[in-house]
Amino acid sequence: MFCVIAGIATAFTSCKKEEGPQGPAGTNGTNGTNGTNGNANVVMYTFGSQTTSSGIFSFTLPITQGFVDSSLMLVYYNPSTESSTSWYPAPGLGSGSNYDTRILTYQSNPSPSEYLLFIRLIDPLTNTSFTTSTTFTKTRVVFAPASSIIVGKKEGTVDFNDYNSVKRYYNLKD
């Protein structure tokens, strides 16, 4: 064992640090006052305590179809049976794996634009509605707008485990 450790230590101490060529100069910053906006336009909606015995939670979101269609949506909730710092993602298994959560969102009113978000509780053993009284003390819905949207290709196949296949499929440059 000592020989292995000594061999590894020798390998690390015998390496030489070499400097590569200097990269191109970056652009001058503006001390954070006039920079261009990045993808920091994330919006979070928060909701207070809600209880259901029907297995469905309902939330109203005052957002537009364009915003929904161009954003990543993440849903988190805090079950009343957990500490106030516990956050569960939806969809997914709930507290103690007693229920599975599924989400559905759709535009309920086009003008003014309004979306409804439903979190449905499913009994994982029977695949039916979970009707035990359940309380979410807090629910958060996060929207992260995309900084770019690329239309994916339908034709052909791509092996996502093979970099060269992905490179060809998306016409990536080295």
- Whether 15 is in a domain gets the answer no
State both tokens at 132: 């035990």
Residue 166 lies in a domain: no
Helical H segments across the chain, by residue range: 2-13, 65-69, 163-169
Query: How many domains, the chain?
Result: 1
Domain membership of residue 106 (yes or no) is yes
Residue 161 lies in a domain: no
Range of the domain at 72: 43-145
Residue 13 lies inside a defined structural domain of this protein: no
Nearest to 77 by CA among 53, 61, 100, 54: 100
Q: How confident is the model at residue 1 (pLDDT cuts 50, 70, 90)?
A: very low
Is residue 77 a part of any domain in this protein? yes
74 close to 92: Cβ distance less than 8 angstroms: no
- The residue among 7, 101, 110 whose CA lies nearest residue 68 is 110
CB 141 within 8 A of CB 68: no
The answer to the question of residue 95 being in a domain is yes
Would the pLDDT of 114 be above 60? yes
Look at the pTM and tell me if it is higher than 0.75.
Answer: no
Check residue 20 and report its DSSP letter. -
Single-letter amino acid, residue 168 = R
Looking at the domain assignment, is residue 16 inside a domain? no
Residue 169 pLDDT class (50, 70, 90 cuts): confident
Least confidently predicted of 50-54, 138-142, 148-152: 148-152
Task: Note the pLDDT tens digit of each residue in 5-50.
Answer: 444 444 444 445 566 677 666 555 555 555 555 557 899 999 999 9
Tally of CB atoms within 10 A around 57: 22
pLDDT band at residue 70 using 50, 70 and 90 as cut-offs: very high
Q: What tokens does 21 get? A: 């060529």
